[in-house]
Amino acid sequence: MRVITGTARGKRLITREGDAVRPTPERVKEALFSAIQFEIEGRRVLDLFAGSGQLGIEALSRGAREAVFVDVSRDSAEVVRANLEACGFLPHARVEISEFAPFLLREEAPFDIAFLDPPYRTGLLQRALPMTVERMNPGGVVVCENPTDEEMPGEAGAFRRVWSHRYGKIMLSMYRRKDVASL
């Protein structure tokens, strides 16, 4: 697993051993960042269910102003911190050890980009999406990763699904405000 492009291009990232974390495959990550490549510079990013932190780190490498990494696992938070340090992004990041709901309820500053990639088939994504859209700037984008056999809603709060694409057994879905033009 590596950073694809930007200031940390080519940096290798570590991940937790075992099945507790499922890193986003590189080709899926490339497709995700191709879809939002012109929206990253100077933005505030949320990497919810961070795991190794690779999505938020990729955003920082591409010019995001700040990234907040949230994971319930202390081990994952340590991996995220190690990856941030290796890439030189610690000054632009915050790592939170928390369940998603309490974090989203107490976070006051809005996000421009949010990545939601929780453990599959747990219902976490369907519960986190409506809460996440409430913490987004009006022009923000939420990108979700889920297995293709898991149904995603067409709408969540003021946001609607504007793009979905299948990559083998993985589905990426992008949500934007209903009153903002889609891609």
Residue 113: give its domain's CATH number. Answer: 3.40.50.150
User: How many domains does the chain divide into?
Assistant: 1
- Average model confidence (pLDDT) for the chain? 92
pLDDT digits 0-9 by tens, 96-106 = 999 999 999 99
Mean pLDDT of 10-32: 82
Q: Cα(154)–Cα(129) distance, rounded to whole angstroms?
A: 11
Q: Is residue 2 part of a domain?
A: no
**CB contact at 8 A, 151 and 173:** no
Q: Is residue 69 part of a domain?
A: yes
Domain range for 139 is 26-119+127-150+161-177
Mean pLDDT of 50-78: 96
Q: Give pLDDT, residue 59.
A: 97
Both tokens assigned to 2: 């590596």
pLDDT digits 0-9 by tens, 152-174 = 999 999 999 999 999 999 999 99
The answer to whether residue 127 scores a pLDDT higher than 50 is: yes
Mean pLDDT of 14-39: 83
Model confidence, pTM? 0.93
168: three-class secondary structure by DSSP: coil
Q: Is residue 5 part of a domain?
A: no
Q: Is residue 33 part of a domain?
A: yes
Q: Is residue 10 part of a domain?
A: no
Mean pLDDT of 117-139: 93
Confidence of residue 19 (pLDDT cuts 50, 70, 90): low
Q: Is residue 46 part of a domain?
A: yes
Confidence of residue 182 (pLDDT cuts 50, 70, 90): very low
| Secondary structure, 3-state, 14-53 | CCCCCCCCCCCCHHHHHHHHHHHHHHCCCCEEEEECCCCC
Q: Give pLDDT, residue 16.
A: 81
Q: Is residue 43 part of a domain?
A: yes
Q: Is residue 9 part of a domain?
A: no
